[in-house]
């Protein structure tokens, strides 16, 4: 018996296929597709240009506008005005390539692009990103390419090129029937270098056209002008000359063979975005940059100097109108670098057997320190150095930004089946940042304190001016140290250890152990002195981590809100009486007594208020309460962060003996103590992000510290 397996013509409504189909089609935008594939005549393009001259911007103007289109925010960093451009947070890929902590370097980059957009000379330079390995140079280049590609898909970023309408042999021949005096327009041949249709305007007509366009051109973000440079590429020049001859110099009829089309920049489609990576020096060939002869077409066109028999598909050709990235640019053969000299300074390239050809593109390269030092010592490369604008891309030296780098890869959104204990990524970031900092010259300032100052924390005795001075005395800070890649690799190693898999958890000590174990065979550490320094920094980080978790356990123990309120009310009542030279009524005896100096000092000493400063501090507190009252606000126990910390530490000291933390490390714990410990554990889980295992581990570890008598008094 035969069974029919014919597929129904239409999917039944409500079936799985129908729902899946809706999920796909609901995401598609046909109108947007049609807009991005607009076509029209040359005259249509001129009308469009008259309404919106910005479609004729050059590559630098387009890239600068792409960055500015995403907005920015201003803030103060090291007592300098700083700008954070949202473009570099990677809004195109949900932050996958987001850059953290390099706002100063990115400001320099954007300033360079603005200068180039306005035609002040930097548009004739190669942009060279220089820095240590893993400092985000490639990521910045990738973001620029990704961003300008995305911008070209938007209405503001629209740009246009053209196709030639000729016969099937790409020749100028009589149209069908030979009548009407028109050449055939049966086949389309795209401009091989995606040139702007304005390049087809004869030189003698350009000045008036540009004057009219620039009168209407009102750029949002810069003061650049619309310009038309150079001549069409050899292919279009040949077609144009043949058509001009056919139509006896009638340029308007020649333009009837031009079909203008909107283009979208795309690295994958090799439209407006190119990338070149050096290979073996013996096999490098400059035709990879400027195109090569198509030997199959020589028989058709009879000559290897006919541009129709040439592939204008080198990286510099296809990157016209956009960006060309050179990976490890200083590893290029000298012959390649000569090509770059003309490409940057004169905006021209020299394809084999053809005249200089105009290009409009941003050329960006990146390199590391050893290669750049070799360039500086090579006298033969003076011309290249002179045409290069170097922008240093250092490692990040702000702790919070370094943590964000690791959260991107190892945050809860990415790692779901293994619990990463609090501060695990923080201690790894701390070690990486400390390795990049230079020892402070200021007396009494430790490397950890310097890191905290850079991270925006306040330290008594140091002002914003101090931070600025620290930064100025170490101009190369961030150009050496541990790469984020190394840290990422070691965190990955920690995630797949047997302990992590069995416990389904990773803690800071597991990561610190991986970081230390890897130092002995780190490929970029060449001397034992550096290795020793990095190990010493690991010890410093462990101490800092111990202080952090001791503070958290102290807060968890003293987190009884009602108890803190009572201590706070008692303290404030005594301070008020002290500052107003009054007495305090004893709640139990009803008698009026002198303010409780012992209580006040017990709290103030927790935050290092010396006896000589107690009067000032108490008056400050009363003034603060008075100022809040004038604003109609009420003083609460947690309103003043400094006082709140002192109250927590006082309560911890009062309650530590009742909880008997040291009992945690013993095998026998009575029910009452266990109940109190469970309360503390739940506070660690709720307030600080621990889970059952990591909270127990931290409590045990802190208990062992107190058992050793290592606890600090405040």
Write out pLDDT tens, residues 446-466.
Answer: 999 999 999 988 887 788 888
How many Cβ atoms are within 10 Å of 159's Cβ, its own excluded?
21
The span from the CA of 456 to the CA of 400, in Å, is 9
Whether residue 249 has pLDDT greater than 80: yes
Strands (E) in 108-223, as ranges, are 126-130, 159-166, 187-190
Q: pLDDT-derived band of residue 10, with 50, 70 and 90 as boundaries?
A: very low
pLDDT of 28 reads: 82
Cα–Cα distances (Å) from 309 to 295, 301, 402, in that order, read 7, 7, 53
Determine what percent of the chain is predicted with pLDDT higher than 90.
55
For the chain, helix, strand, coil in percent to 5 are 55, 10, 35
**Triad 59, 63, 68: Cα angle to 5°:** 145
Q: Are 435 and 525 in contact (CB under 8 A)?
A: no
Six-digit token string for 23: 């999920």
Provide long-range contacts, Cβ within 8 A and 24+ apart, for 531-536. Answer: 533/435, 534/431, 534/435, 534/482
Determine what percent of the chain is predicted with pLDDT higher than 70.
92
Q: Is 251 helix (H, G, I), strand (E, B) or coil?
A: helix
Q: pLDDT-derived band of residue 659, with 50, 70 and 90 as boundaries?
A: low
Lowest mean pLDDT among 50-64, 186-200, 335-349: 335-349
pLDDT of 642 reads: 79
pLDDT of 712 reads: 45
Lowest mean pLDDT among 71-80, 147-156, 357-366: 71-80
Cα–Cα distances (Å) from 378 to 15, 375, 387, in that order, read 70, 5, 15
Question: Average pLDDT of 215-221?
Answer: 92
Which helix (DSSP H) or strand (DSSP E) does residue 208 occupy? helix 203-216
Q: Is 593 helix (H, G, I), strand (E, B) or coil?
A: strand
pLDDT of 401 reads: 95
The span from the CA of 585 to the CA of 570, in Å, is 11
Q: Is 579 helix (H, G, I), strand (E, B) or coil?
A: helix
pLDDT of 150 reads: 97
pLDDT of 100 reads: 93
pLDDT of 74 reads: 92
| Start-end of H helices in 360-496 | 369-377, 382-386, 399-410, 424-436, 447-454, 464-472, 484-495
For residues 561, 567, 572 and 574, what is the CA-based torsion angle, rounded to 10 degrees? 170
What is the secondary structure of 459-523 as a DSSP string?
Answer: -TT--HHHHHHHHHT-TTTTSSS--HHHHHHHHHHHHTSHHHHHHTEE-HHHHHHHHHHHHTT-T
| 3-class DSSP string for 595-654 | CCHHHHHHHHHHHCCCHHHHHHHHHHHHHHHHHHHHCCCCCCCCCCHHHHHHHHHHHHHH
The rounded radius of gyration (Å) of the Cα atoms in the chain is 35
Q: Is 248 left (phi over 0), alpha (psi -120 to 50) or beta?
A: left
Question: Average pLDDT of 352-357?
Answer: 91
pLDDT of 176 reads: 67
Six-digit token string for 282: 């013996």
Six-digit token string for 590: 């009803």
pLDDT of 663 reads: 54
Whether residue 194 has pLDDT greater than 80: yes
Six-digit token string for 514: 């991986």
Tell me the whole-structure pTM to 2 decimals: 0.83
Whether residue 358 has pLDDT greater than 90: yes
Q: Are 344 and 390 in contact (CB under 8 A)?
A: no
Query: Tokens 């002198």 map to which residue?
Result: 594
Whether residue 480 has pLDDT greater than 60: yes
Whether residue 582 has pLDDT greater than 80: yes
The span from the CA of 322 to the CA of 341, in Å, is 18
- For residues 294 and 375, the model is more confident at 294
The span from the CA of 311 to the CA of 321, in Å, is 18
Whether residue 711 has pLDDT greater than 50: no
Whether residue 6 has pLDDT greater than 50: no
Which of 565, 615, 620 is closest to 595 using CA atoms?
615
The span from the CA of 507 to the CA of 423, in Å, is 8
Query: Tokens 């076509």 map to which residue?
Result: 39
Q: Are 44 and 162 in contact (CB under 8 A)?
A: no
How many Cβ atoms are within 10 Å of 71's Cβ, its own excluded?
11
Question: Average pLDDT of 16-32?
Answer: 78
pLDDT of 254 reads: 96
Q: pLDDT-derived band of residue 3, with 50, 70 and 90 as boundaries?
A: very low
| 3-class DSSP string for 192-207 | CCCCCHHHHCCHHHHH
Write out pLDDT tens, residues 132-156.
Answer: 999 999 999 999 999 999 999 999 9
Whether residue 588 has pLDDT greater than 60: yes
The span from the CA of 355 to the CA of 70, in Å, is 40
The span from the CA of 341 to the CA of 384, in Å, is 6
Whether residue 15 has pLDDT greater than 70: no
pLDDT of 251 reads: 96
- For residues 270 and 13, the model is more confident at 270
């Amino acid at each position: 018996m035969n069974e029919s397996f014919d597929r129904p013509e239409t999917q039944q409504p409500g079936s799985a296929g129908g729902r899946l189909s809706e999920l796909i089609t609901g995401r598609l935008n046909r109108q947007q597709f049609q807009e991005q594939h607009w076509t029209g005549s040359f005259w249509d393009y001129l009308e469009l240009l008259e309404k919106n001259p910005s479609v004729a911007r050059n590559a630098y103007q387009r890239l600068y506008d792409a960055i500015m289109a995403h907005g920015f925010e201003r803030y103060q960093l090291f007592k300098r005005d700083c700008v954070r451009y949202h473009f570099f947070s990677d809004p195109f890929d949900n932050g996958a390539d987001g850059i953290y902590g390099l706002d100063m370097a990115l400001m320099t980059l954007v300033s360079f692009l603005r200068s180039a957009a306005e035609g002040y000379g930097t548009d004739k330079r190669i942009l060279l990103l220089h820095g240590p390995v893993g400092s985000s140079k490639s990521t910045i280049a990738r973001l620029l390419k990704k961003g300008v590609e995305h911008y070209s898909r938007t209405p503001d970023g629209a740009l246009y090129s053209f196709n030639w309408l000729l016969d099937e042999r790409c020749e100028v021949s009589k149209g069908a029937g030979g009548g009407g005096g028109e050449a055939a327009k049966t086949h389309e041949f795209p401009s091989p270098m995606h040139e702007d249709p304005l390049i087809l305007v004869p030189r003698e007509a350009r000045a008036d056209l540009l004057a009219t366009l620039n009168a209407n051109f009102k750029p949002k973000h810069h003061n650049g002008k619309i310009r038309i440079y150079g001549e069409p590429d050899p292919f279009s020049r040949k077609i144009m000359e043949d058509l001009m001859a056919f139509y006896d110099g009638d340029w308007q009829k020649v333009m009837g063979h031009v079909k203008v089309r909107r283009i979208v920049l795309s690295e994958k489609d090799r439209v407006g975005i190119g990338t070149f990576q050096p290979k073996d020096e013996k096999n490098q060939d400059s035709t990879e940059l400027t195109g090569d002869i198509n030997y199959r077409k020589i028989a058709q066109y009879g000559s290897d100097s006919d541009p129709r028999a040439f592939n204008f598909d080198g990286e510099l050709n296809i990157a016209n109108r956009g960006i060309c990235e050179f990976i490890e640019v200083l590893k290029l053969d000298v012959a390649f670098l000569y090509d770059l000299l003309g490409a940057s300074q004169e905006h021209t390239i020299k394809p084999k057997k053809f005249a200089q050809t105009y290009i409009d593109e941003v050329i960006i390269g990146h390199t590391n320190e050893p290669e750049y030092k070799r360039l500086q010592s090579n006298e033969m490369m003076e011309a290249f150095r002179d045409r290069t604008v170097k922008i240093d891309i250092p490692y990040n030296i702000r702790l919070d930004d370094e943590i964000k780098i690791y959260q991107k890869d190892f945050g809860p959104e990415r790692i779901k089946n293994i619990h990463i204990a609090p501060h695990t990524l923080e201690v790894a970031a701390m070690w990486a940042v400390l390795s990049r900092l230079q020892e402070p010259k200021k007396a009494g300032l430790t490397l950890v304190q310097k890191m905290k100052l850079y991270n925006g924390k306040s330290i008594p005795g140091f002002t914003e001016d101090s931070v600025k001075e620290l930064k100025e005395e170490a101009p190369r800070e961030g150009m050496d140290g541990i790469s984020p890649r190394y840290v990422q690799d070691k965190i990955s190693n920690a995630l797949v250890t047997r302990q992590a898999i069995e416990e389904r958890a990773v803690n800071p000590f597991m990561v610190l152990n991986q970081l230390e174990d890897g130092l002995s065979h780190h490929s970029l550490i060449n001397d034992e002195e550096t290795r020793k320094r990095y190990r010493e920094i690991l010890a410093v980080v462990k101490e800092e981590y111990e202080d952090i978790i001791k503070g958290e356990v102290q807060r968890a123990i003293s987190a009884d809100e009602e108890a803190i309120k009572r201590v706070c009310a008692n303290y404030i009542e005594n301070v008020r009486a002290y500052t107003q030279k009054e007495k305090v009524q004893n709640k139990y005896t009803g008698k009026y007594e002198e303010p409780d100096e012992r209580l006040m000092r017990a709290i103030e000493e927790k935050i290092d208020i010396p006896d000589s400063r107690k009067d000032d501090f108490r008056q400050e507190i009363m003034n603060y309460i008075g100022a809040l009252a004038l604003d109609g606000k009420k003083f609460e126990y947690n309103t003043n962060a400094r006082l709140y910390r002192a109250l927590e530490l006082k309560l911890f000291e009062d309650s530590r003996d009742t909880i008997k933390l040291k009992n945690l490390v013993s095998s026998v714990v009575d029910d009452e103590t266990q109940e109190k410990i469970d309360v503390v554990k739940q506070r660690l889980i709720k307030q600080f992000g621990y889970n059952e295992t990591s909270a127990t581990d931290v409590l045990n570890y802190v208990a062992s510290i107190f058992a050793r008598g290592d606890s600090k008094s405040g």
